Amino acid sequence: MVNGYDGSRAAELPPATRELIARRERALGGAYRLFYDQPVSFVMGAGVYLYDADGNAYLDAYNNVPSVGHSHPHVTETVAKQLGTLNTHTRYLTDGLVAYAERLLATHTVGADGSGGSVAQAMFTCTGSEANDLALRIARHYTGATGVVVTANAYHGVTAALAELSPSLGPGVPLGSHVRVVPAPAPGVNFTAAVAWAISDLERHGLRLAAFLADSLFSSDGVLPDPAGFLAPVTEIVHAAGGLYIADEVQSGFGRTGTHMWGYQRHGIAPDIVTMGKPMGNGLPIAGLVARPDVTESFGRQARYFNTFGGNPVCVAAASAVLDVLETEGLPANAAATGAYLKDAATRLADLSPVLGDIRGAGLYLGIDVIAPGTPGDPSGKLAAAIVNGMRDRRVLISATGPQGNVLKVRPPLPFAREHADQFLTALQETIEAVH
């Protein structure tokens, strides 16, 4: 695993940390992974900082779930008040759920005419995986087809249906026979042609396309946002094949890209279904999808949908408080401004460093290629891991992504300001000087 603790530096850990790791392994088994050579334990979070038991502050340049900031007071108060008042489920009429759905829909531009808002519909789940799983069920129902096209290192979730179309889980998790994988949209790849080929390959095997499913920022493929607009021709060939375009906005949604509320809007496309999660409730389990009403119509008639916790009043209160904070604190605009500042400064650093290569990003989501010094500067997952751990030693949290684990993943909470960017850049400069 990229940035996974493997125990090789266990002897350097404080005895209390070693003991907790041992208890965790005994109690939880082998499937869980910890970050960093030297795992870190937190007791508190506030804004863009996490704190350990000794009161040391770690700059969070990694976590997108607490996207309006750790333990944001408005979210905390709104959730506490709702929890102390009423928490039921979607089989009773509650105003909050409907009001939130209306507010969320107004931010979207889905469907053929891109008019979103008044015409689209929302459904709620607890996790991004459940949202993608439901989107797939709806797409299969609508198209009568089963085929799905995803990118080479995609990750879409934990359910059985999603694990078999998440190639980033590795060779130990087989892909389904109805799944086709296309190269990630990196420079030099004709992405539209690759999707067209994948669709025709499905058809040669007697399958039809139900959906093209893609993260609008291609995060696990190494963060590939540009050029904005390259997804437009893909939607056309997906529709021509009778399939639906599902935009996975679990990573790219809720203002992260700065210029737009949703990653797909950077591409000027109008997906048929959009799935959302992670930052939606700033840490409370709320996720969901929005879709064209004609897409959900027959599914809605024929399949009953109830998700016990999905869209409960407490989670909806959190989600609605998140929208409040995004607006009142102008966080998407901050993501655009700080993101541009960070990308420029990191690019200047990379120009002078033999170990930093291409830097890509949109808003507060950056991917920084790490390369071995020399020509041509091959991707180096090993050096990336050293940088990730060196940053952690300097109390700045990042991780790595991409098929070779060689892309630094920088994805802070959205209140990340210029002073935090400067702190990050100082630590990065010190770290790259120390690792080679």
Nearest approach in angstroms of CB 277 to ligand PMP is 4
Non-local CB neighbours of 298 within 8 Å, separated by 6+ positions:
141, 142
Asked if 415 contacts 66 with a C-beta cutoff of 8 angstroms, the reply is no
Where is 408: in which H helix or E strand? strand 407-410
125 binds ligand PMP (CB under 6 A): no
151 near ligand PMP, judged by CB under 6 A: no
Nearer to ligand PMP (CB atom), residue 128 or residue 357: 128
Residue 221 is a binding residue for ligand PMP (CB under 6 A): no
Which of 165, 171, 110, 158 has its CA nearest to residue 140? 165
Stretch 353-392: interaction string toward ligand PMP, x if CB under 6 A = ----------------------------------------
DSSP for 294-307 reads HHHHHHHHHS----
In the complex, the smallest distance separating the C-beta of residue 318 from ligand PMP, rounded to whole angstroms, is 14
What are the backbone dihedrals phi and psi of residue 229, each rounded to the nearest 5 degrees, phi first? 110, -15
Residue 411 sits in the site that holds ligand PMP (CB under 6 A): no
List all residues 6 or more positions away from 24 whose beta carbon is below 8 Å from its beta carbon.
32
- b/e burial code for range 226-264 (CB count within 10 A of at least 16 → b): eebebbeebbebbeebebbbbbbbbbbbbbbbbbbbbbb
Task: Select 182 or 432, whichever has its Cβ closest to ligand PMP.
Answer: 182
Could you count the other beta carbons within 10 Å of the beta carbon of residue 5?
18
By CB under 6 A, residue 155 contacts ligand PMP = yes
Q: Which of 37, 60, 133, 248 binds ligand PMP (CB under 6 A)?
A: 248
Strand partners, 45: 50
Q: Which of residues 181-220 bind ligand PMP (CB under 6 A)?
A: 215
Q: Report the nearest approach of ligand PMP to the CB of residue 166 (Å).
A: 8
* Given 10, 13, 46, 158, the residue binding ligand PMP (CB under 6 A): 158
The answer to the question of residue 63 lying near ligand PMP (CB under 6 A) is no
Residue 133 is a binding residue for ligand PMP (CB under 6 A): no
The residues that touch ligand PMP, with contacts defined as CB under 6 A, are: 127-129, 132, 155-158, 215, 248, 250-251, 277-278, 287
